[in-house]
Amino acid sequence: MTKISVIGAGTAGLIFAYALLRKGYEVAVYSDRTPDQWLNHSKPTGNAFLFGETIDVERELGMDYWSQDMLGASGALVHMKPAIEGSERMMVAGSFGSYGGAIDIRMRIHRWLSDLDCRGGRLIVESVTAERIDEIATHSDLTVLAAGRSELADLVPRDPGRSVYDAPQRHLAMAIVSGVRGWDDFVDFVPVKFNIYGDAGEAFFGPYTHKTAGPTWCVLWEAKPGSCLDRFTEAKSGEEVVNISRSLLQAHAFWDWDAVKDMRFLDGDEHEHAWLVGRVTPTVRQAFGLLPSGGLLMPLGDTAITFDPIAGQGANNANRMAKYVADAVIARRDHFDAAWMTGVSEAWWEFHGRWAYAFTKMFLEPLTEPAAAVLGECGRNRLFADQKFFGNFSRPQNLFPWIEDTEAASGVIEAYQARKAA
């Protein structure tokens, strides 16, 4: 029987494992935490909003136990200001085309690890070292690394031609909160809420399903280093993150104040982990890492492509890439050599990864002329916003190359203007 080893027990690793277990592969998952430790003694890894078709991956594998009851969103509401102190402001809104949501990753991992044995898999609780991975690989037909952004990721070389950045572009802060009223006054659906300040950074509110508190919200700040939003670096608690958030929102998002004025951190011992501060360097890694023994290590999910969370692409890429690579394993059956790994990596990059990375970069950089024109048209034409922009958040390949080209973007906009006039 073909033996597969998965280093890391995040969503990508477990979706990959579950997909292979259905086809009779021998799969061992290495986790640095027990299911109980994941549930009760871990921080969430971020908001991890999943679009509807990404949740479909979990549904297909019999791994979705929560989406029918989640507090979700079917679109986005964006307020944009070129400068945080300026008076100019634009609002745009649009539908994703499906109902998605952020479900506490700790609850999901706990259930999936607990069920692994009855699905035919093997859970090994171990803090795996680089030396141990080399040993594991010598006894496996395929070893994948799905350890997120941990130090182990460095076992797979960075791809310098595709990794646009070599440093974090934002300083991040996140907290799970209650008391958010929502934005029913602006749109006729529950949205993911974006505030974009061109010279300072971004703020986001996403509907969230917490492991014990249930329907809540996740607030995420993306502060440009040194800007007036960059106030979270030294925060020592979730309460402190929320207090700073309230201060910034009151000063710079008066249009949101009624929706968030009662916002409060999920206090109490069980919620002590419901916040994060940090930073991420967007990185693309090569198709495999070569281990000292000569074995190969294939990256998966966040280890393969690390996204800044600004455009909501990371968790969605991880889930869908995991299923894609599992399907490639099943098609190959065995003999997973360097050429095969390179082919699978290249195929995923061209199908989805390249475009998700480019879409994320679009938000990290000053808006280009065609992108600004597209967002401006979104504010005037809801059909365009739904079908051509927000409706492609889950499939960013449909936005390229036209959103990067002024003439092409103008052509798409004019076509929708004609449809609206008709």
Domain extents for the chain? 3-42+105-164+281-363, 54-103+169-278, 367-421
Summarised one tens digit per residue, pLDDT across range 289-336 is 999 999 999 999 999 999 999 999 999 999 999 999 999 999 998 899
User: What is the rounded distance in angstroms from the CA atom of residue 141 to the CA atom of residue 252?
Assistant: 55
Query: CA-CA distances (angstroms) from residue 248 to 173, 229, 265, 275, 379?
Result: 13, 7, 16, 17, 25
Give 248's pLDDT tier (boundaries 50, 70, 90).
very high
Query: CA-CA distances (angstroms) from residue 241 to 92, 194, 236, 244?
Result: 27, 18, 8, 5
Residue whose entry in the numeric block shows the structure tokens 């190359």: 401
pLDDT score recorded for residue 45: 77
Q: Which CATH architecture has domain 3-42+105-164+281-363?
A: 3-Layer(bba) Sandwich (3.50)
The total number of residues written for the chain in this structure = 422
Give 422's pLDDT tier (boundaries 50, 70, 90).
low
**CA–centroid distance for 176 within its chain:** 16
pLDDT, greater one: 143 or 422: 143
Q: For 340-359, what is the mean pLDDT?
A: 98
pLDDT score recorded for residue 250: 95
Q: What value does the mean pLDDT of the chain take? A: 95
pLDDT score recorded for residue 206: 96
Q: Give the global pTM.
A: 0.96
pLDDT score recorded for residue 136: 98
pLDDT of 269 above 80: no
Give 418's pLDDT tier (boundaries 50, 70, 90).
confident
pLDDT of 267 above 90: no
User: What is the rounded distance in angstroms from the CA atom of residue 218 to the CA atom of residue 265?
Assistant: 10
pLDDT score recorded for residue 318: 97
User: What is the rounded distance in angstroms from the CA atom of residue 13 to the CA atom of residue 6?
Assistant: 6
Q: For 384-402, what is the mean pLDDT?
A: 97
pLDDT of 188 above 90: no
Strand ranges inside 237-335, DSSP E: 264-265, 275-278, 283-284, 289-290, 296-299, 305-306
Residue whose entry in the numeric block shows the structure tokens 């023994």: 293
pLDDT score recorded for residue 268: 75
Q: In the structure encoding, which two tokens stand for residue 74, read together?
A: 């079917």
Q: Count H helices, E strands: the chain?
A: 13, 16
User: What is the rounded distance in angstroms from the CA atom of residue 100 to the CA atom of residue 121?
Assistant: 29
Identify the three-state secondary structure at position 181. coil
Summarised one tens digit per residue, pLDDT across range 37-81 is 999 999 887 789 999 999 999 999 999 999 999 999 999 999 999
Contact 353, 284 (CB under 8 A): yes
Specify the CATH number of the domain 54-103+169-278.
3.30.9.40
Query: CA-CA distances (angstroms) from residue 266 to 47, 139, 312, 364?
Result: 15, 45, 23, 30
Give 240's pLDDT tier (boundaries 50, 70, 90).
very high
Contact 143, 297 (CB under 8 A): yes
pLDDT of 270 above 80: no
